[in-house]
A and B are shown apart, each in its own frame.
Chain A
Amino acid sequence: MKTYFESRFTINRDRNLCINCTSCTRQCTFGVHYYDEKGELKSRDENCVGCQRCVAYCPTGAITIKGNLPEAASNWTREVIRDITAQAENGAVILTGSGTDKPYPIYWDRFLLNASQVTNPSLDPLREPMELDTYLGKKPDRIELSPEGRLITKLAPQVKLKTPIIFSAMSFGAVSLPVQESLARAATQLGTLWNCGEGGLHPGLYQYHENTTVQVASGRFGVSPGYLKKAQVIEIKIGQGAKPGIGGHLPGEKVNAEIAATRMIPEGTDALSPAPHHDIYSIEDLAQLVSALKEATNYEKPISVKIAAVHNSAAIASGIARSGADIITIDGFRGGTGASPKTIRDNVGIPLEFALASVDGRLRQDGLRNKVSIVASGGIRGSADVAKAIALGADAVAIGTAALVALGCQLCQQCHTGRCPWGICTTDPALSRRIDPQKGASRLVNLINAWSIELKEMLGGMGINAVESLRGNRDELRGIELNEKELSILGIRMAGE
């Protein structure tokens, strides 16, 4: 069938600058740059995904890439036309990667933070103590002492974070092993957590177990007693912000020997994660899995339950808190994915900001807020988002996409193709080598350190010297461009009030 596909990008190559080094032909994983039979360097613009890899690796700066084609009409955007064309030609679900790119309102940008003036001294974090240490885990309602003043209350297991920023779950298979190793090394250096996702834990990463969260998802890939022991936190993955309500599918061609061993499945078979856990059809089933995991690990590790932000997250979270879980991770609809049907990614779920506000509020209303820590994730872009999420009620935030951007990701949204030119979302060993775990870890450490310093500056400005005093402290937030209903759900006041 003849394709009517248009090219989305135009490649401009400055012939005066090009030295024919062949870097672009080697870096591009979509076959855009090539030498024709006459030995002339050409481009297939229609294959370009706009990942900027060739631009970054061109030693002479000869390449520029421009977005092509003006929008057609507001209802019939180029994207719509492209999707319809594709489906007319292949009759299939449109797959995509990373988080939604639709112009939904970003509520973080409608919150403003407070600062002290006169009545309350602002604090200089370079001169005065400023604490970001955060403990995730169930807290008792009260502390009990013996008549001699000795501590009687025994706290449930707590996990210490030196900064309230952890890495989101990204499985081996969705991302390459060097990406996971970068995350694991960075988490270890930073004193925080990385999360191996649902694809098992590669033995090469066992050494980072003190900073590892392992997932138990509907596919149960790689889950064994040994796996559970190599973790500080065990996370039951119910859902994910980018694709609430659906499972996952790692095609057999991606399941090479290493992935097969890590996932504990035969090489070359499809790795299917069912939409639900087939042993969890109700909240009481979840409670049973929570206690089974606790029993299996001698009650030494907090159990997290990760859910996508959906319409009734608040009630669901209340149920999870009663199920015995120690941590609830809420993943908003801007969260990323290795592969998702585009229509799900772009249309299902709700913004993290609303889900977080109502979950925190509901847990307080039910007197359950102590019983669980809240981790918020899904589209966190910087330290200001971190501060705002904590003020809304999160104990910590998790970042996925931002961490990948630190490793080079340019959001070209081709994660599902497995051809990631940056070596991030791929299982191809040749591409995976594009990430050096040592350099990757150092970029991630730099990023989180920078955010932590900025967070301390913001706390100091508010006259607060411990992050726990910002947690759920919505007095420190004000809204702009928000209506009464939005303000009331978020539990914040308008700027000027």
Chain B
Amino acid sequence: MKDIERYQNPYHDEKVHEACAIFGAMAKSGKTFSAEFAIRAMSNMRERGTGLGAGFAVYGLYPEMKDLYAAHVMYLDKAAIESTEEFLSSRFQLVYKEEMPTRKVKAFREPPTFKRYFLGLRDGQIEDESEEDYIVRQVMTINNELAGSYVFSLGRDMGVFKGLGYPEDIAEFFCLENYRGYIWTAHSRFPTNTPGWWGGAHPFSLLDLSVVHNGELSSYGINRRYLEQSGYNFSLKTDTEVVAYAFDLLVRRHHLPPEVAAMALAPPFWDEIDRREAEERSLLLALRQTYSSLLLNGPFAIIIARHGEMIGLTDRTRLRPLIVGRKGDMVFLSSEESAIRLVEPGLEEVFSPCGGEPVISRLGTREAVGGAINC
């Protein structure tokens, strides 16, 4: 018998509403670049944050170790390290571990401890489930059951750096100037009802998926109850968790292309569906009928990244800002146009995507990014 309290009485006490700055940059060529774009863009949007949380997700981060899973783990107390490392060694082949390089920053008096692990899978370790499901289960176990330990990210050739501060503080603390990647996403946080904490900062990540989010989900209550039925445990005290799990469910577990997943999360209005051609109409109808409890309602702009892909999406009526900029094979997504123009003055294209229309940039593609102009 499952715990009925979780289904029947989900108080969701821990949910924090968000209002923030988000930014993403991707080189569609796959060429890596430094943290400079992300840091400067976030500094430019400083007044959208409060210093109560900021973070970065980087793809193409560990090219020499790209066949191994990279785990970024935060420890709120030293006692947690031993139990978590024991757990990791029992579930993975622990190839390499190290303390993450950090430097002293005035803003942080007693920062948590951060460690980085490179993990492989032993033969025969996984029974009756996919490799991804196995990894997700281990992450959920650490975050929910091992007190004081939080996995920030556990994916190949990527990682999340985040904490309780302004983006510049986080960048300085984690020595981000030493890293390169072909996608950088970033976030600065303005929590509106409870103080932030290190684990509640964005990006929020699962496998190689990461999400930064500006908004508040009025549909959180039902989104969460729906996802809990599929085995997701909510642990990170932010409604952004819903976005990450919903995308994971639709794309990884239900094998829907991201474009189709976006149609489920931010579907067209019914009367608009009625006007589409027959085949598209039946698809949209089936998606909306089936995934009605996953519709993300309320204002949001999100940037979802995973290997090879960066996706921008707003709610159906675009109540939060998202601007797209492009120059050559570089694509930028940002809460404010000024931040993009600051880091790339010579943009070839700038536009606001329509509400609910995903803007998808893919590695190795030459075509311009999707999304209609002037909506």
Q: Which residues of A contact B (CB under 8 A)?
A: 116, 118-121, 123, 128-129, 131, 133, 135, 137, 139-140, 142-145, 149-151, 153, 155, 158, 357-358, 361-362, 364-365, 367, 369-370, 462-466, 468-476, 487-489, 491, 493, 497
Contact = CB atoms under 8 A, between A and B. Distances in A.
Given A365-B8, A464-B298, A474-B225, 7 more contacts: A143-B256, A143-B290, A361-B8, A361-B9, A463-B298, A465-B316, A491-B9
A137 B160 CA distance: 42
A464 B290 contact: no
Interface of B: 2, 4-5, 7-13, 15, 17, 19, 192, 216, 218-222, 225-226, 228-229, 253-257, 260, 264, 269-270, 279, 282-283, 286-287, 289-293, 295, 297-299, 316-317, 319
A120 B286 contact: no
A358 B295 contact: no
A487 B10 CA distance: 11
Main SS class of interface, A: loop
A140 to B, nearest CB: 6
Contacts of B289: 135, 137, 139, 155, 158
Contacts of A153: 286, 290
B256 A369 contact: no
Contacts of A365: 2, 4, 7-8
A133 B289 CA distance: 10
Contact of B317 (A119, A128, A150, A470): A128
6 contacts: A144-B255, A361-B7, A364-B229, A367-B229, A469-B295, A474-B221
Contacts of A362: 4, 7-8
The 7 closest A-B pairs by CB, nearest first: A475-B221, A361-B8, A469-B297, A469-B219, A473-B221, A468-B292, A473-B222
Contacts of A123: 317
A381 B105 CA distance: 60
Contacts of A470: 222
A466 B282 CA distance: 19
Nearest to B3: A365
A401 B294 CA distance: 34
A155 B290 contact: yes
B293 A471 contact: yes
Contact of B295 (A158, A468, A475): A468
B219 A464 contact: yes
A278 B122 CA distance: 60
A155 B218 contact: no
A462 B286 contact: no
B220 A475 contact: yes
A227 to B, nearest CB: 28
Contacts of A128: 317
A333 B154 CA distance: 52
Given A145-B256, A469-B222, A488 B9 contact: yes
A142 B292 contact: no
Nearest to A128: B317
B298 A143 contact: no
B327 to A, nearest CB: 31
B8 A491 contact: yes
Contact of A464 (B4, B218, B264): B218
B225 A472 contact: yes
B251 to A, nearest CB: 12
A149 to B, nearest CB: 7
A131 B269 contact: yes
Contacts of A145: 255-257, 260, 283
Contacts of A464: 218-219, 297-298
Contact of B319 (A121, A129, A487): A121
B4 A361 contact: yes
